Amino acid sequence: MRCRFALCVYGYVVMPEHVHLLLSEPQRGVLADAMHYLKLSFAKRLRAGVFWQKRYYDRNVRDEREFVEKLRYIH
């Protein structure tokens, strides 16, 4: 999905019940579509029942200080 939507993945962490992603805005398409297709491709590879929640929660990072704070949290 990184290439398809031309977005950058700055960091991620897999938690026991969810995942945190630090992403750029997609250069092609919208974030909702990128997340939809990311979930879909992962679920198809997993070949198990329901894995993802139906929705996701996004938060805009406002400045460099907040970006560094979030990046340190997930690393």
Q: Give the tokens for residue 41.
A: 């491709």
One-letter amino acid at 75 equals H
Is the residue at 27 inside a domain?
Answer: yes
Is the residue at 2 inside a domain?
Answer: no
- Does 2 have pLDDT greater than 70? yes
Q: What DSSP string describes 7-73?
A: --EEEEEE-SS-EEEEEPPPSSS-HHHHHHHHHHHHHHHHTSS--S-S--------SHHHHHHHHHH
Is the residue at 4 inside a domain?
Answer: no
Domains held by the chain: number:
1
pLDDT tens readout for residues 10-69: 999 888 888 889 999 999 999 999 999 988 888 888 877 777 878 888 889 999 999 999
Residue-level pLDDT at 62: 93
Task: Look up the domain containing 45 and give its range.
Answer: 9-74
Is the residue at 1 inside a domain?
Answer: no
Is the residue at 15 inside a domain?
Answer: yes
